[in-house]
Amino acid sequence: MQFLGFRVLIKRLKAIRFMMADKTVPWYKKALVVAGIVYLFLPIDIIPPFLFPFGFIDDIVVWILILWYLSSTLDKYWIGEKPKDYSRKFRGKKVVDDVEYDVDEGDEPEKGETDRHA
Protein backbone atom coordinates (compact mmCIF):
# COMPACT_ATOMS: atom_id res chain seq x y z
CA MET A 1 0.00 0.00 0.00
CA GLN A 2 1.33 3.44 -0.80
CA PHE A 3 2.52 5.59 2.07
CA LEU A 4 3.12 9.15 0.92
CA GLY A 5 -0.18 9.86 -0.81
CA PHE A 6 -1.98 12.87 0.67
CA ARG A 7 -5.25 10.95 1.07
CA VAL A 8 -3.45 8.07 2.76
CA LEU A 9 -1.81 10.41 5.27
CA ILE A 10 -5.13 12.10 6.05
CA LYS A 11 -6.89 8.76 6.56
CA ARG A 12 -4.13 7.57 8.88
CA LEU A 13 -4.31 10.78 10.89
CA LYS A 14 -8.06 10.31 11.30
CA ALA A 15 -7.53 6.67 12.29
CA ILE A 16 -5.39 7.69 15.28
CA ARG A 17 -8.52 8.55 17.29
CA PHE A 18 -9.94 5.05 16.88
CA MET A 19 -6.59 3.41 17.54
CA MET A 20 -6.19 5.30 20.81
CA ALA A 21 -9.66 4.16 21.96
CA ASP A 22 -8.93 0.49 21.26
CA LYS A 23 -7.85 -1.37 24.39
CA THR A 24 -6.10 -4.12 22.42
CA VAL A 25 -3.45 -1.76 21.00
CA PRO A 26 -0.14 -2.03 22.89
CA TRP A 27 0.72 0.84 25.26
CA TYR A 28 3.97 1.72 23.48
CA LYS A 29 2.13 2.54 20.24
CA LYS A 30 -0.19 4.87 22.13
CA ALA A 31 2.80 6.38 23.95
CA LEU A 32 4.43 7.10 20.57
CA VAL A 33 1.38 9.11 19.48
CA VAL A 34 1.36 11.02 22.79
CA ALA A 35 5.09 11.73 22.45
CA GLY A 36 4.48 13.07 18.93
CA ILE A 37 1.77 15.40 20.22
CA VAL A 38 4.02 16.59 23.04
CA TYR A 39 6.87 17.23 20.58
CA LEU A 40 4.50 19.18 18.34
CA PHE A 41 3.62 21.62 21.14
CA LEU A 42 7.01 21.74 22.88
CA PRO A 43 8.80 25.07 22.46
CA ILE A 44 12.14 23.28 22.04
CA ASP A 45 12.57 21.94 18.50
CA ILE A 46 15.47 20.97 16.30
CA ILE A 47 14.55 23.88 14.00
CA PRO A 48 12.95 26.78 15.91
CA PRO A 49 9.37 27.62 14.83
CA PHE A 50 10.09 31.35 14.34
CA LEU A 51 11.94 30.43 11.13
CA PHE A 52 8.51 30.14 9.60
CA PRO A 53 8.48 27.76 6.69
CA PHE A 54 11.47 25.78 7.90
CA GLY A 55 10.44 25.70 11.55
CA PHE A 56 7.73 23.15 10.94
CA ILE A 57 9.80 20.75 8.86
CA ASP A 58 11.07 18.86 11.90
CA ASP A 59 7.51 18.48 13.23
CA ILE A 60 6.33 17.17 9.88
CA VAL A 61 9.24 14.73 9.66
CA VAL A 62 8.54 13.42 13.18
CA TRP A 63 4.86 12.83 12.35
CA ILE A 64 5.67 11.17 9.02
CA LEU A 65 7.98 8.78 10.88
CA ILE A 66 5.29 8.07 13.48
CA LEU A 67 2.70 7.40 10.75
CA TRP A 68 5.16 5.19 8.89
CA TYR A 69 5.91 3.15 12.02
CA LEU A 70 2.21 2.78 12.89
CA SER A 71 1.01 2.30 9.30
CA SER A 72 0.05 -1.37 9.63
CA THR A 73 -1.87 -0.67 12.85
CA LEU A 74 -3.62 2.46 11.55
CA ASP A 75 -4.71 0.76 8.33
CA LYS A 76 -7.08 -1.40 10.39
CA TYR A 77 -9.04 1.70 11.45
CA TRP A 78 -9.58 3.46 8.09
CA ILE A 79 -13.26 2.66 7.83
CA GLY A 80 -13.95 4.03 11.27
CA GLU A 81 -13.56 1.36 13.84
CA LYS A 82 -11.89 -2.00 13.87
CA PRO A 83 -14.22 -4.90 14.65
CA LYS A 84 -14.26 -5.48 18.38
CA ASP A 85 -12.27 -8.34 19.79
CA TYR A 86 -14.41 -10.18 22.31
CA SER A 87 -11.72 -12.72 23.19
CA ARG A 88 -10.88 -10.95 26.46
CA LYS A 89 -14.51 -10.56 27.43
CA PHE A 90 -15.24 -14.28 27.13
CA ARG A 91 -11.87 -15.62 28.33
CA GLY A 92 -12.40 -18.53 30.72
CA LYS A 93 -16.13 -18.74 30.02
CA LYS A 94 -17.91 -21.60 28.35
CA VAL A 95 -19.14 -20.65 24.91
CA VAL A 96 -21.17 -22.99 22.72
CA ASP A 97 -20.00 -22.99 19.12
CA ASP A 98 -21.35 -24.64 15.99
CA VAL A 99 -24.95 -25.01 17.17
CA GLU A 100 -27.63 -25.27 14.53
CA TYR A 101 -31.30 -24.78 15.22
CA ASP A 102 -34.51 -24.31 13.28
CA VAL A 103 -37.62 -22.41 14.23
CA ASP A 104 -40.77 -24.18 13.16
CA GLU A 105 -43.88 -22.16 12.55
CA GLY A 106 -45.78 -24.65 14.69
CA ASP A 107 -43.78 -23.54 17.73
CA GLU A 108 -45.20 -20.02 17.65
CA PRO A 109 -48.21 -19.29 19.89
CA GLU A 110 -51.42 -18.86 18.00
CA LYS A 111 -53.48 -15.71 18.01
CA GLY A 112 -55.11 -15.17 21.35
CA GLU A 113 -52.73 -17.45 23.26
CA THR A 114 -50.55 -15.84 25.88
CA ASP A 115 -47.32 -16.98 27.41
CA ARG A 116 -48.22 -18.28 30.86
CA HIS A 117 -44.61 -18.81 31.92
CA ALA A 118 -43.93 -15.09 32.28
When the pLDDT of each residue in the chain is averaged and rounded to a whole number, the result is 75
Amino acid at 53: P
Distance CA 20, CA 117 (A): 47
Q: Residue 109's pLDDT band (boundaries 50, 70, 90)? A: low
Q: How many helices (H) and strands (E) does the chain have?
A: 5, 0
In the chain, where are the structural domains located? 6-77
Closest CA to 62 of 30, 31, 27, 35: 35
pLDDT in tens, 32-48: 999 988 888 887 777 77
